[in-house]
Structure 1
Amino acid sequence: MAVYFMPKNHLITKASTLKSFPNKWTIRWATTRRNLSNKVSGTPGINTTSQQTQTSYGQHRDKKKGKFSKLKSLQLEWSWKAGASFTILSVLDWWLLAAGWFTWSGLLTRWTPIGVCVFAALEWHYHTRKLEKQGLPITASEIQRIAYCSLPLRLVSRCWGWVASCPVPPALRPTVFGAYVNAFDVNMEEAENPELKQYRSLSEFFTRTLRNDVRVIDKASLVSPADGRVLHFGSATESRIEQVKGITYSLDAFLGPPSWTKNENCSSCADALKLNKDSALYQCVIYLAPGDYHRFHSPAKWEPEIRRHFTGQLLSVSPKIAEWLPGLFCLNERALYIGKWEYGFFSFTAVGATNVGSVQIYFDDGLKTNKYVLGPLKRKRYDERQLPEGMTLEKGDLVGQFNMGSTIVLIFEAPKNFEFTIVPGQKIKFGEKLGEVRT
């Protein structure tokens, strides 16, 4: 802009040296721009010789070193006649040529990222405006969902799992684990072993055990299976359950086809799951943050009968992503345990997430999560296993652990007079009351 407003008689008469070699494409572009500029202004723009417009720019290969020698300086003399003006476009042309924008490498490393960013910004703006006009919550479009799922989050999670399992030198443990404690506000006073030097790796620190006297199991029908934050809870009788307020997903997509029940031919998945016609289905989602206690327990006395392992994505399950991406829990990898309790159907699901090295279930040694998957992931791809008969989990029994924070989803059948005793967004501890059947 400073050059644009300078007087014509003070303009610089020579350009600085080009750092990149002007190949045949840059030469053609310079010649084309000069010709177009001459046609517009009616005057010659750049005085160059035929020798300069050819490939004799001082290029030669040094046979001994195998490198290009320094290029000769390309001096461009500017002549101004009959009111010719210096435009910003001329400066822009010179800069683009000097920076190598009109080369194959410039096309891949400069123009392509700019085009992708411009397209992403326009698509985001258009989609957001469309949802605002319709009065709907701001959620991801199909293009945004595909782009997010295309990120190598499974590879990142596998790498993080490997890093977390690496031993930390004893001298560095107080510093490394202390930084994590301060960053995520971890309460080490509740840990069975509060000494940071005693944890050999980050994974061992994440899955630390608690003292027996720091959690009291409530006598209610249903208690919290883990420490965390309540994302959402409520009814699931319409075969769709709420991920967060205003965003739902299909019960059938989350659980898979109800092939284990005799009511498989019912009109809705919710009716097929229920063992009692007069009861209702409920759901509760609890998010475990990185600073929470990473082990989870049985929320009630129940009998697991079937395990389904869905090989899906490892997307983040943070509250912000859950509000933005519909069907998040149906996309992610999850270990689903199906059974029954005193009121009918009961399911317990441990959902994987980004940087969760693995999900471990203590009574199921055959479960292997975060495995390498060849080919594209499919939403309904899962393997099923029949659990041993007679297995019973008492309320408060240790079930498994996350090797980083993640999410627990409970879907269960209960009488219609069942009431939750929690509120959305509430911080809850393992063993505290979730709800009970009112008499």
Structure 2
Amino acid sequence: MKNSLKDQLKNTLNHTPLSKDKLFTAAQHLVPQQRLSEVAGRFAASRHPLVKKAFVRTFAKAYGITLDEYERKSFNAYESFNDFFTRELTEEARPIDATEHGIVSPADGSISQIGQIEQDKLLQAKGTYYTAGHLLADNDDGNYFADGSFATVYLAPSNYHRVHMPFTGRLVKTRYVPGSLFSVNNTTAAGVPDLFARNERLVCLFETEFGMASVVMVGAMIVAGIETVATGKLQRTDSVQTQEHDMTLNKGDELGRFYLGSTAIVLLPKAAGTKWQAGLDHNTIVQMGQLLGTTNAK
């Protein structure tokens, strides 16, 4: 049985250390998350010149976004806010690290957490864990990643919002999991238990040289959609939706994109023997294609 709203709010307040953070996190239980995202999505998709201009210019100014690294150099070149938000980089902007058996960052952003999966548990924030089975919405898949490795990359609103392959692999399955749309920033990660396993998400499963691996694209507050090269833009449903695939993607290839900010989580099996690069820690800034670690694949 689901906890009542009162119980959820009490749990949130008990888990968040600062009063302003408690209020921010608790307020997210009260807002109509899905409805808010739907409304934001309609405005973000609008091609009306005045709507587009207002959204794009205001957002770019608020977050200090310039177009130096991007293919289209003029704000007027984008057909909608969504088109601007998922803007493409120039080909040379993000070289893909060529280290043999290397794992690269799937996105621009910051490391939320990185390390080993302790039995089946992933670190969400200091003292807070969630299980791989819950995240993947499948206990057997979760058990497969027991004692493996993971990296969680948070994409801030100002970041490049396409997600790329951290390794070469054959996409064999996607699993859309409906859920909440809490913010995924550090404040909410510290205050909402099982955050990444509660939010809407798309689980992507791959066959690789070191066994099965996964990239999970996690939705967030006001995220108007998730899209991948295999599925197209996902339609929200009330039930888990699974698709079979047979698509090989090379390291650095585009996997998908978010319409507004979110998080990408990479899961690697114990057999990969992943060694993360020294110096990667909570809040470390990373770029897509940057070397995060290496595996012992042969």
TM-score range, shorter chain: 0.7 to 0.9
Q: Counterparts in 2 of 1:202-217, with a 5 A limit?
A: 202-217=81-96
Gaps of 5+ in 2: 1-5
Residue number among 198, 201, 204 corresponding to 2:77 in the alignment: 198
Q: Partner residue of 2:234?
A: 368
Query: 2 CA distance for matches of 1:357 and 1:183?
Result: 20
Q: Identify the residue that residue 287 of structure 2 maps to in structure 1.
A: 429
What is the letter of the counterpart of residue 427 of structure 1? I
Would the alpha carbon gap of residues 180 and 146 (structure 1) be closer, same or farther in structure 2, given more than 3 Å must change?
Answer: closer
Q: State the Cα distance separating 1:179 from its structure 2 match.
A: 2.7
1:411 matched to 2:267? The reply is: yes
1:248 aligns with 2:115: no
Deviations 1:263-301 (A, max 9, x none): xxxxxx43x447xxxxx4111100111111011111110
Alignment partner of 1:420 is 2:276: yes
1:169 to 35, 49, 54: 49
- Residue pairs, 1:24-43, within 5 angstroms: none
Quick one: which amino acid aligns to residue 400 of structure 1? G
How many positions carry a matched residue from both structures? 283
Question: How far apart, in 2, do the equivalents of 1:293 and 1:172 lie?
Answer: 19
8 Å CA contact 2:137, 2:177 repeated in 1: no
What is the TM-score normalised by the length of structure 2?
0.85
Structure 1's 196 and 416: CA in aligned 2 closer, same or farther, altered over 3 A?
A: closer
SS state at 1:292 partner: coil
Tell me what 1:345 maps to: 212
RMSD: 3.0
Instruction: Tell me the residue number matched to 1:13.
Output: none
Q: Tell me, what secondary structure is at the counterpart of 2:49? A: coil
Superposed CA offset, 1:109-137 (max 9, x none): xxxxxxxxxx99x9689x64xx7xxxxx7
Check conservation: 2:210, 2:272, Cα contact below 8 A.
Answer: no
Task: Name the residue aligned to 2:154.
Answer: 287
1:50-69, CA deviations, whole angstroms, 9 ceiling, x for partnerless residues?
Answer: xxxxxxxxxxxxxxxxxxxx
| RCO higher in structure (CA 8 A, sep ≥6) | 2
Match of 1:156 in 2: 36
1:154–1:370 CA contact under 8 A, matched in 2: no
Alignment of 1:123-138 (within 5 A): 128=14, 138=17
Quote the Cα distance in structure 2 between the aligned partners of 1:346 and 1:168. Answer: 42
Letter aligned with residue 392 of structure 1:
T
Superposed CA offset, 1:360-383 (max 9, x none): 112223x62445x5xxxxxxx412
Letter in 2 for 1:297: H
- Structure 1 vs Structure 2: percent identity of aligned residues? 26
Aligned amino acid, residue 243 of structure 2: R
Question: Match for residue 67 of structure 2?
Answer: 188
Residue identity matched to 2:242: E
Structure 1, unaligned runs of 5 or more: 1-118, 132-136, 261-268, 275-279, 374-380
Q: Which has the higher strand share?
A: 2
The separation in 2 between residues aligned to 1:182 and 1:254, in whole angstroms, is 35
Q: Deviations over 1:140-168 (max 9, x none)?
A: 9xxx9998445311000010000001124
Cα deviations by residue, 1:1-35 (Å, 9 ceiling, x for unpaired): xxxxxxxxxxxxxxxxxxxxxxxxxxxxxxxxxxx
Cα separation, 2, equivalents of 1:176 and 1:312: 27
Report the residue type matching 2:41 in the other structure.
Answer: G
Q: Give the equivalent residue in structure 1 for 2:250.
A: 394
Q: Is the 8 A contact 1:307 1:387 kept in 2?
A: yes
**Counterpart Cα distance in 1 of 2:222 and 2:119:** 33
Structure 1 residue 209, shift from structure 2 partner: 0.5
Shift of 1:200: 2.0
| In 2: Cα distance, 1:406 partner to 1:123 partner | 25
